[in-house]
Amino acid sequence: MAPMISNLANPDGTTNEAHMRYLEERAAGGIGVVITEYTYVDNINSRGSRNQLGIYDTKMIPKLRRLTEGIHRWGAATFVQLVHAGGKASPDINGVESIAPSAMKYFNHMAREMTQEDISRVQESFVTAAKLAQASNFDGVELHGAHGYLIHQFLSPATNKRTDKYGGSFENRLRFVQEIIDGIRSETNFVLGIRLSLFEYDQDGYGPDYGLKIANSLKGIDYVHFSAGRNAPPSSSAPFYYEHNHILKELKGRIEKTSVVVGSVTTVEDAEEVLKTADFVALGRALLADPHFVRKASTAPERIRPCIRCNQACRDLSYGEVRCTVNPDTGFENRVTPKPRLRGEMAIVGGGVKGMEAALTARSYGLKVILYEREDSLGGQLQEVIDPWKKVEFDRLISYYQHMLKRRGVEISLGTEYRGSGVYCLPDEVYPELPQSSEISIDSNVYKYHDLALSLAERGEVIMSNRSLGNLDRGRAEAFRRIAEERGVKFVDNFDFKFSLMVKDQYDIMKAMISGRRTAMEYLQSNIEDYS
């Protein structure tokens, strides 16, 4: 399991039941090694986000032991990913200034250049954190040397402008992390790996040859975990506008160490492709969408709830916790309750996400379910997706439902306008059609109109407001803008827009799923006699 910020820990960095259950569920799903989210190593200025996991004090050991024990029970190993956020640490979150190899602007703040004293102190924190990890029964640590955090800031020529022994040459840029590795090696005897960005997307960034050279030059590490990106999007979590296995495709050189590769691996075929080159494949978002991906991969891959690489719910991490657009249980693993077996029948009207999810919910309680859909196919509004990149991924979600409904024994009646009694699962919100006009101008953050802008641009002029892309993950926004501009869409700030609809909280797949589950539960509670 790739390291993923969950923000489920406590404000002081300690773990808790929700956080442990979230990780354990992935171990229960058959994953071999659970790598925790990036975990901060000192209580000064290393923290990158609110409610991030921390490892900086012996008082944390008992609860961390509970965490590792829960994962080990499922036969999985677990590594903690150690991070110092460096210049990327927000002074608002840490309450003190951030530090970096060189004084530089990060986001909206300036980071101070680290002194030799800072360097030694931070290196010591990494070593102490590794010792605490070993005492907490982790099987290893992974140094976070990717994604523009402190170790990566030292490795990258764009962020390391030092002229002392920690900068100026390739060997000097590696010194900061090499000394950490040597320190951990001398104090522990468990697995020590490092995550590196194979390449950076930034204009002044390094390419795969440089990334590979770092990997092959570091001494004393057991494995290298290849990711990508520094600050520029899409980083490693590429949205559906990028190919699957987008990092693997850049890994052309020889890897001299045990390797792990991550990046847009969302199908069993993607994983098998990675394993032709690397020793291990890491899954990130695929495990948010379906914690049991691995177990199902070997027996019934069609039962995997697919990550659609939308970068919606899972990327809202400034204030939010981990969530997934296609899996309402993600982040709520400690709330899943056992389901009693009930007797009865339920007719469901509407074969969109809401109706399909309601049908699966009712079946999971043992009810006989018949699902009526007016159209000749299931999927509802998912069938209306016209953006070709998006469609490939969203169609996989429809296939998943088709398969699961059949497997669970839901009777499906397509092309049927049913008007009898039952549970009506029509969408809670349908956004209006665009007004007919020769010149289309759109000011809206609703995804439906983004799709429309792309297809209408093939037939005429389309103008879109810049703020229409404001809610999108940066990777998705930039890719959309590039593709749209290639098709002739013009982005502007001010215009007399013919159509304007800005929403605060849009009705999306996750909301439809939750609504379907709620509708089914309300029906059970008030109509099924043996519901208790």
325 binds, among ligand SF4, ligand FMN, none (CB under 5 to 8 A by kind): ligand SF4
Nearer to ligand FMN, 322 or 369 (CB): 322
CB of 286 to ligand FMN, least distance (A): 6
55 is a site residue for ligand SF4 (CB under 6 A): no
Cβ contacts of residue 522 below 8 Å, gap of 6+?
A: none
Active-site entry in 149, 223, 365, 401: 149
Nearer to ligand SF4, 128 or 312 (CB): 312
309 is a site residue for ligand SF4 (CB under 6 A): yes
Q: Which of residues 318-357 bind ligand SF4 (CB under 6 A)?
A: 324-326
Nearer to ligand SF4, 173 or 244 (CB): 244
For tokens 């190899």, name the residue.
101
Q: 120: how many CB neighbours lie within 10 A of its CB?
A: 12
326 binds, among ligand FMN, ligand SF4, none (CB under 5 to 8 A by kind): ligand SF4
305 is a site residue for ligand SF4 (CB under 6 A): no
Binding test (CB under 6 A) with ligand FMN, winner from 46, 128, 227, 312: 227
147 binds, among ligand FMN, ligand SF4, none (CB under 5 to 8 A by kind): ligand FMN
Q: Is 334 helix (H, G, I), strand (E, B) or coil?
A: helix
Alpha carbons within 13 A on the beta-carbon side of 263 = 31
Residue number with the shortest CB distance to ligand FMN?
284
Range list of β-strands (E), 114-153: 140-145
User: 168, 251 in Cβ contact below 8 A?
Assistant: no
Q: 52: exposed, middle or buried (C-beta count within 10 Å: 0-12, 13-18, 19+)?
A: buried
- Per-residue string for binding with ligand SF4, 249-288, x by CB under 6 A? ------------------------------------x--x
362: alpha, beta or left, given left = phi > 0 and alpha = psi -120 to 50? Answer: alpha
289 is a site residue for ligand SF4 (CB under 6 A): yes
Nearer to ligand FMN, 262 or 423 (CB): 262
Cβ contacts of residue 121 below 8 Å, gap of 6+?
A: 42
71 binds, among ligand FMN, ligand SF4, none (CB under 5 to 8 A by kind): none
CB of 3 to ligand SF4, least distance (A): 14
351 is a site residue for ligand FMN (CB under 6 A): no
CB of 492 to ligand FMN, least distance (A): 31
285 is a site residue for ligand FMN (CB under 6 A): yes
Cβ contacts of residue 420 below 8 Å, gap of 6+?
A: 347
Binding test (CB under 6 A) with ligand FMN, winner from 78, 81, 153, 267: 81
Rounded to an integer, what distance in angstroms lies between the CA atom of residue 295 and that of residue 9? 27
Rounded to an integer, what distance in angstroms lies between the CA atom of residue 154 and that of residue 126? 15
Segment lying near ligand SF4 (by CB under 6 A), choices 59-67, 308-316, 431-439, 489-497: 308-316
Count of residues binding ligand SF4 (CB under 6 A)?
14
Range list of β-strands (E), 338-448: 345-349, 368-373, 411-414, 423-424, 440-444
Rounded to an integer, what distance in angstroms lies between the CA atom of residue 40 and that of residue 125? 9
Q: 118: exposed, middle or buried (C-beta count within 10 Å: 0-12, 13-18, 19+)?
A: middle
Q: Which two tokens stand for residue 314?
A: 């899972």
264 binds, among ligand FMN, ligand SF4, none (CB under 5 to 8 A by kind): ligand FMN
41 is a site residue for ligand FMN (CB under 6 A): no
Q: Is residue 424 annotated as a catalytic residue, yes or no?
A: no
104 binds, among ligand FMN, ligand SF4, none (CB under 5 to 8 A by kind): none
User: 416, 422 in Cβ contact below 8 A?
Assistant: no
User: 198, 227 in Cβ contact below 8 A?
Assistant: yes
284 is a site residue for ligand FMN (CB under 6 A): yes
User: 378, 402 in Cβ contact below 8 A?
Assistant: yes
Q: Which two tokens stand for residue 23?
A: 């990780």
Q: What is the DSSP letter of 374?
A: S
User: Helix, strand, coil proportions of the chain in percent (round to 5)?
Assistant: 40, 15, 45
423 is a site residue for ligand SF4 (CB under 6 A): no
**H/E run at residue 527:** helix 509-527
Q: How far is CA 525 from CA 34, 254, 342, 522, 528, in A?
A: 38, 60, 11, 5, 6
Nearer to ligand SF4, 38 or 400 (CB): 400
51: alpha, beta or left, given left = phi > 0 and alpha = psi -120 to 50? Answer: left
26 is a site residue for ligand SF4 (CB under 6 A): no
Nearer to ligand SF4, 164 or 243 (CB): 243
294 is a site residue for ligand SF4 (CB under 6 A): no
Binding test (CB under 6 A) with ligand FMN, winner from 21, 162, 173, 195: 195
Positions touching ligand SF4 (CB under 6 A) are 285, 288-289, 307-314, 324-326
Catalytic residues: 149
Positions touching ligand FMN (CB under 6 A) are 2-5, 37-38, 81, 144, 146-147, 195, 227, 236-237, 262-265, 283-286, 314, 322
